[in-house]
Amino acid sequence: MARIAPATTARLPRWERGPAPWWLRLLLPLLAVAITFVIAALLIAASGANPLDVFREMLVTPFTRRTSRLEILVRLTPLLLTGISVAIAFRAGYYNIGAEGQLYAGAMAAAFIGPQLGGWSQAAAIAVMLVGGLTAGAAWALLPALLKVYAKVDEVVTTLLLNSVMLLLVGGLLNGPWRDPVSGWPRSPTIADAAMFPQVIARSRVHFGFVVALVLVALFWWVLARTCFGLEVRSVGLGATAARFMGVNVRKTVLIAALVSGAVAGVAGVSEVAGIHGYLIEGISPEYGYTGIIVATFGGLHALGVTVAASFIALVDIGSTTAARTLGVPAYLGNVVQAVLLLVTLAVLLLGRYRPVRRRASEESA
Amino acid sequence: MSGSAGAPTGTPAGAPAGAPAGAPDPFVSLRGVTKRFGSLTALADVDLDVHAGEVLALLGENGAGKTTLTKILYGLYQADEGQVTVAGRPAAFRSPADAIASGVGLVTQHFSLVPSLTVVENVVLGREGGAILDRAKLEASVLATAERYGLDVAPRARVRAMSVGAQQRVEILKALHRDCKLLILDEPTAVLTPQDSERLFETLEGLRAQGLAVIIITHKLREVMRVSQRVAVLRGGRVAGERRTADASEAELARLMIGRDAALVERRAVVGGVAEATQTVAETSSARAQGAPAQDQAPTASTALLEVRDLSLSDRRGVKLLDSVSFDLHPGELVGVAAVAGNGQSELVSILTGMTKPTAGQVRLGGRTVSGLPPKRLTQLGVGRIPEDRFEAVVGQLTVRENLALEHLDAFTTAGHLAGGKMAAEADRLIAEYQVKAKPTDLVRTLSGGNIQKIVLARTLSRDPRFVVAAQPTRGLDVGATAYVHQRLLEQRDRGAAVLLVSEDLDEVLRLSDRVLVMYGGRLVGDISADDVDVQRIGLLMAGEGALAAHG
């Protein structure tokens, strides 16, 4: 068949941008936040409150009190972990929506191992907890990853559905064999003291999990930017066919990225059990796994971006709770802000890649 | 280029040659139609008429302008100059909807059918008429159309379950149901079995008898002779000739299509720069005898580096895309593969580059079987790979530096850690050596086609491969970049590598190759030494005529 134009054009189509300039890459997230708050303001006004009061309470007040400042760090911990969990997978072009389930798998492992570690040294106990959690998270991620790599089964569907399976499994365990025999509450036996994560800031709930999260964020950056595997992951995510052509083992790369993603989400589960509660309960994750998708996307799948995004969302989380208490607006406001932020971010990201152009009649077929 | 061909250029008012004498006004007529894409002129001053009740074959090589012409007639493109009239009225279609309203229908190779819907549903889709779907009425109307034109389709069958030939009939039926008066078929037989093709031709004869105008785009001479009343040959965007089919011979059409004489074939031996040493075949041979670099590795039958044996590839339906292809390649030899697109050469390249496993047969490199090995192993064994689509060889969103390193990642890795300094040094070296106009940190996506190709060449050829497979290496490149690529490939040959050049540009193949392999229908139908290249014969082989001649 004759080709109309050269198969590979010398120039990009005029609606496609080259590499986005630095100011645009900085501006777009800010634009997303601004649009999000305009939409949120309308919703707040509709619920009868003054949007400016609510925003002040949500974004400024948390910084004025030591407790809420530190609570932001507590909330930041799981968000950083699920954020980079999702980012790793997305970078390989594997859309893992299952961080929530993988987090619970890690939490379950922690709740299972934790009570048996009485008498262990703290270092050894914590190491065992972490290894257990990341193994469980990876194991829960294994099946969808294998299905994707060997049978091309869409991972979005499988990972998402496995979340429900995991939640039912946890519910079953907590209401069955693990139910607290003393109180009758649906919660697992308390883990050994040695297995509890130590505080890292005195008189606060900020725990060792926060340090783990920061280390993993740094590691995430290093692996992607500086290692052979990181380059392979990026090449697979950005162009799987070309990566395969150049000799990258695409299946292996996707499989490993998916498992690492599950493992990091599993660590988030351990961190919540061993750092906060000391046992497993059903609502241990208020959908941190899904929020991780927002964090990763808003953070542009970059280590620094994920950190900023997670911090912002942690602030909104804490702030909306305070705002709900003091101003009587619905506590769901924080969730609404996050959800709107994801949608707006996705829309705004397109502006980074494309520029608005007027359509010509001759292009309508394209 | 070919004044004797009777091209009607320069006489826009007159009817093109070959039009039936005393025929009524044509249904569609083009006068002086020109279409440019940037600096490329796809169609230049084309005059063409199509009459009701005739099948016009549009013949031409890849890039001759056939599809551009089709898209103008179907409203997908607008002509830059010239006039199109349909049924006597000026027709400047701005969209396919305009074209359909004026009675133009198009059937491409890529069907626009919804697989999960039935035949009737597909045919009426978009013009169901009213809010309520009156299935009985719609089915009756579709059946009436099918019967009128003698198209055999099962109205309630799901398209998904139908053969390609049957799906094509649904496409045709769809066009007819919208009252088309001119049916354009773009390489309709490319996807069909011989039996289905024959059936299609019978259908087309039926349509013609019903008074439809039909344009069939093809590059197969046999089909032209079989089905058309008139044939127009396009070459380089111009009408190279127009004939009544009954008056034309296959040899003449092949010559019109390819448009050059055998004596013009040239081959270059690279000694120095791009502009140097352009010689005819005879001169090249003598230059070699006088000590050109390639002479030391002059091919002999015993030193085949690459042996391809009975290589076959079938698709999921069992259609043979590649059928028992065998050939040898010697060190210091550049062999060209000439074929019209879709005759198995892409599949051959895909297997040689490690992207596809053959269903039968094997490829041996230096005596070792390499077919089925993954790309990484092939690279390590000294296979240099330049794929058809250069975006298959680079990740556009990664930097030049990263793309230059990825294929040989082991060389830039120490204990899993990327050797950044080494990568940077290699990138600087290759950018300088291959004159790539880019910074190492630029995203490859933002470069021009020529510079992207240079990156692929640099990465591949800097490793001194034993065997180079280069597919469409100059597609879309400007003259300077093309010459550059040619020079680099000839350097590889002269260095002693075996080079396989697969290209749709026959000029390129003839100019560079020591030997020309011709493929048709997935089979190797010709293996011709550069010394006795006969363009007309190659043209016939490419159009599927030589194979028949060989068998009978």
Contact B146, B210 (CB under 8 A): no
Q: How confident is residue B446, by pLDDT bands cut at 50, 70 and 90?
A: confident
**Contact between chains at A235 and B63 (C-beta distance less than 8 A):** no
Supply the mean pLDDT for chain A.
Answer: 89
Q: Which among A2, A227, A361 is the nearest to B94, CB-wise?
A: A361
Within 10 A of A283 (CB to CB), how many other CB atoms are there?
6
> How far does the CA of residue B21 sit from the closest CA of chain A (Å)?
31
- pLDDT tens digit string along B337-383? 998 878 899 999 999 999 999 999 999 999 999 999 999 999 999 99
pLDDT for A19 beyond 80: no
Give the β-pairing of B467-471 and B523-529. Answer: unpaired
Most trustworthy range by pLDDT among A168-172, A181-185, B33-37, B130-134: A168-172
- The range of the structural domain enclosing residue B90 comes to 1-19+27-103+181-261
Has residue A21 got a pLDDT over 90?
Answer: no
A68-107: per-residue pLDDT in tens? Answer: 999 999 999 999 999 999 999 999 999 999 999 999 999 9
Residues of B in contact with A228 (CB under 8 A): 409, 412-413, 416-418
Beta strands B368-369; B360-365: pairing state: antiparallel
Q: Which of A69-78, B104-113, B543-552 has the lowest mean pLDDT?
A: B543-552
Q: Are residues B8 and B151 in the same domain?
A: no
Comparing alpha-carbon positions, the chain B residue that sits nearest to A225 is B418
Confidence band of A11 (pLDDT split at 50, 70, 90): very low
Crossing angle of helices B479-495/B449-461, nearest 10°? 10
CA of B395 vs chain A CAs: smallest distance (Å) = 5
User: At which of B211, B231, B261 does a domain end?
Assistant: B261
* A64 close contact with B: CB closer than 8 A: no
**In Å, what is the CA distance from A107 to each residue of A24, A199, A282, A283, B203?**
40, 19, 10, 11, 68
C-alpha distance from B418 to closest chain A C-alpha (Å): 5
Are residues B3 and B126 both part of a single domain? no
- Residue A170's nearest CA partner among A111, A239, A254 is A111
pTM of model > 0.80: no
In a domain, B379, yes or no: yes
Residues A1, B390: C-beta atoms closer than 8 Å: no
* Residues B345, B339: Cα–Cα separation, whole Å: 7
At a CB cut-off of 8 Å and minimum separation 6, what does A29 contact?
A298, A300, A305, A308, A309, A345, A348
Question: Does residue A271 contact residue A207 with C-beta atoms inside 8 Å?
Answer: yes
End-to-end alpha-carbon separation of chain B, Å? 34
Residues B254 and B207 in one domain: yes
Identify which has the larger pLDDT, B76 or A329: B76
Residue A359 lies in a domain: no
Q: Which pLDDT belongs to residue B264?
A: 33
- Compare all CA atoms of chain B with the CA of A10 and give the residue at the minimum distance: B448
State whether B432 and B505 are in the same domain: yes
Q: Is A91 on the interface with B (CB under 8 A)?
A: no
Inform me whether the pLDDT recorded for B300 exceeds 60.
no
* Residue A255, both tokens: 């499989």
Is residue B316 in some structural domain? yes
From B124's Cα to the closest Cα of chain A, the distance in A is 21
Measured distance CA(B411)–CA(B302) in Å, rounded: 34
Nearest to A282 by CA among A182, A188, A177, A161: A188
Q: Tell whether B63 and B125 lie within a shared domain.
A: no
Q: Which residues contact B261 (CB under 8 A, 6 or more apart)?
A: B535
Beta-bridge partner residues of A99: none
Q: How far apart are CA A59 and CA A332, in angstroms?
A: 15
- Reported as a pLDDT band with limits 50, 70 and 90, residue B6 is very low
In this structure, the strands spanning B413-414 and B417-418 are antiparallel
Examine residue B266 and state whether it is found in any structural domain, yes or no: no
pLDDT for the residue numbered B432: 93
Closest by CA to B412, choosing from A227, A322, A176, is A227
State both tokens at A246. 């150049």
* Residue B542 within a domain: yes
* Alpha helices (runs of H) in B61-118, residue ranges in sequence order: 66-73, 96-101
- Is B334 part of a structural domain of the chain? yes
The verdict on residue B314 lying in a domain is yes
**b/e burial code for range B255-277 (CB count within 10 A of at least 16 → b):** bbbbbbeeeebbbbbbeeeeeeb
Greater confidence (B277 vs A288) lies with A288
CATH classification of the domain holding B190: 3.40.50.300
Examine residue A28 and state whether it is found in any structural domain, yes or no.
yes
Task: Tell whether the model's pLDDT for residue B285 goes beyond 70.
Answer: no
Same domain, B246 and B347: no
**pLDDT tens per residue across span A309-344:** 999 999 999 998 888 888 888 878 888 888 888 888
DSSP summary character for residue A53? H
Contact residues on chain A for B409, CB-CB shorter than 8 A: 228, 231-232, 247-248
Q: Domain with A243 in it: what CATH number?
A: 1.10.3470
Q: From A264, A230, A287, A284, select the one nearest A135 (Cα to Cα).
A: A264
Cα separation, A251 vs A145, in Å, equals: 9
Task: Find the residue in A nearest to B217 (Cα).
Answer: A1
B380-430 pLDDT, tens digit each: 999 999 998 888 999 998 999 999 999 998 889 888 899 989 999 999 999
Q: Which residues pair with B338 in a beta bridge?
A: B503, B518
Whether B36 and B141 map to the same domain: the answer is: no
Same domain, B248 and B386: no
Q: Output the CA torsion sign for B196, B198, B202, B203.
A: positive
What is the overall mean pLDDT for chain B? Answer: 83
Q: What is the pLDDT of residues B133-184, one digit of tens each?
A: 788 888 999 999 999 888 888 888 998 888 888 889 999 999 999 889 999 9
Residues B140 and A9: their CA atoms lie apart, in Å, by 47
Using DSSP bridges, classify how beta strands B40-50 and B28-37 pair: parallel, antiparallel or unpaired: antiparallel
Both tokens of A333, joined, read 């406001």
Residue B274 counted as domain residue: no
Query: Chain B residue with minimal CA distance to A241?
Result: B392
Residue that is written with structure tokens 């490793």 in the block? B463
Residues B191, B197: contact at Cβ < 8 Å? no
Residues of B in contact with A249 (CB under 8 A): 374, 376
Which two structure tokens, joined as six digits, stand for B445? 């996506």
Q: Provide the ipTM.
A: 0.82
| CB nearest B402 (choices: A4, A8, A231) | A231
Residue A19 sits at the chain B interface (C-beta within 8 Å): yes
Backbone φ and ψ of A46, nearest 5°? -65, -30
Lookup: tokens for B16 = 């093109």
Closest partner CB to B68 (pick from A4, A227, A241): A4
Give the CA dihedral A11, A17, A23, A25, nearest 10 degrees: -130
d(C-alpha B18, C-alpha B513), whole Å: 37
Q: DSSP readout, B371-435?
A: TT--HHHHHHTTEEEE-SSGGGTS-TTSBHHHHHHHTTGGGGEETTEE-HHHHHHHHHHHHHHTT
Q: Do A18 and B446 touch (CB under 8 A)?
A: yes
Task: Kindly write down the DSSP assignment for every residue of A62-110, as one continuous string.
Answer: HHHSHHHHHHHHHHHHHHHHHHHHHHHHHHTT-----HHHHHHHHHHHH
Does B201 lie in the same domain as B120?
Answer: no
Closest residue in chain B to residue A4, using alpha carbons only: B68
Strand partners, B28: B50, B86
Per-residue pLDDT at B504 = 82
Helix, strand, coil percentages, rounded to 5, for chain A:
70, 0, 25
Of the residues A14, A25, A231, A253, the best mutation for testing chain B's interface (the one with the most B CB atoms within 10 Å of its CB) is: A231
The predicted model gives A347-353 an average pLDDT of 76
- The whole domain housing A210 covers 22-351
State how far the Cα of B61 lies from the Cα of B339, in Å rounded to an integer: 10
Pairing of strands B498-503, B467-471: parallel
Residue B262 has pLDDT above 70, yes or no: no
Collapse the DSSP code of B155 into the 3-class scheme (helix H, G, I; strand E, B; otherwise coil) and give the result.
coil
Residue finishing a domain among B179, B214, B234: B179
Structure-derived torsion over alpha carbons of residues A302, A304, A307, A313, reported in degrees to the nearest 10: -70
Residue B280 has a pLDDT of 34
pLDDT in tens, A145-175: 999 999 999 999 999 999 999 999 999 999 9
Give the count of domains, chain A: 1
Q: Does the pLDDT at position B549 exceed 70?
A: no
A10/B449 touch (CB, cutoff 8 Å), yes or no: yes
Residues of chain A with C-beta less than 8 angstroms from the C-beta of B446 = 12, 18-19
Residue A328 inside a domain? The answer is: yes
Number of domains in chain B: 3
Does residue A202 carry a pLDDT above 70? yes
Tokens of B4: 């004797």
3-state secondary structure of B184: strand
Are residues B83 and B210 part of one domain? yes
Q: Give the pLDDT of residue A358.
A: 63
Tell me if residue A187 falls in helix, strand or coil.
strand
Residue that terminates a domain, selected from B179, B203, B221: B179
List, in sequence order, the alpha helices (H) in B61-188. 66-73, 96-101, 119-124, 135-148, 164-177
CB contacts of B479 in chain A (<8 Å) are: none
- Interface check A10 vs B, CB under 8 A: yes
Q: Which residues of chain B make contact with A226, given a CB cutoff of 8 A? A: 417-418, 420
Angle CA B481–B483–B485, to nearest 5 = 70
Helix%, strand%, coil% for chain B, nearest 5: 40, 25, 35
Helix (H, G, I), strand (E, B), or coil: what is residue B186?
strand
- Percent of chain A, pLDDT > 70? 90
What tokens does A170 get?
């946890």
If asked whether residues B195 and B161 sit together in one domain, one would say no
Identify which of A10, A226, A242 has the shortest CB distance to residue B392: A242
Do the strands B467-471 and B383-386 form a parallel or antiparallel pair, or are they unpaired? parallel
What does the pLDDT read at residue B111? 85
Q: Which of B397, B407, B416 sits opposite A228 (nearest CB)?
A: B416
Residues 6+ apart with CB under 8 A from B459: B403, B404, B407, B408, B430
How many Cβ atoms are within 10 Å of B292's Cβ, its own excluded? Answer: 18
Minimum mean pLDDT range among A78-92, A251-265, B91-105:
B91-105
Strand partners for B243: B231
A242 vs B contacts (CB less than 8 Å): 391-396
Going by pLDDT thresholds of 50, 70 and 90, the confidence category of residue A357 is: low
Among A5, A12, A238, select the one facing B397 at the smallest CB separation: A238
pLDDT-derived band at B220 (thresholds 50, 70, 90) equals confident
- Of A285-294, B117-126, B225-234, the poorest mean pLDDT is in B117-126
**Cα separations (Å) of A116 from A126, A131, A179?**
12, 15, 17
Based on the fold, state whether residues B141 and B219 are members of the same structural domain: no
CB contact (8 A) between residue A247 and residue B375: yes
- Asked if A1 is an interface residue toward chain B (Cβ–Cβ < 8 A), one would say yes
Instruction: Read off the tokens for A197.
Output: 């994560």
**Closest listed residue to residue B478, CA positions, set A10, A24, A143, A189:** A10
CA distance A1 to chain B (A): 6
C-beta atoms of A241 and B392 within 8 A: yes
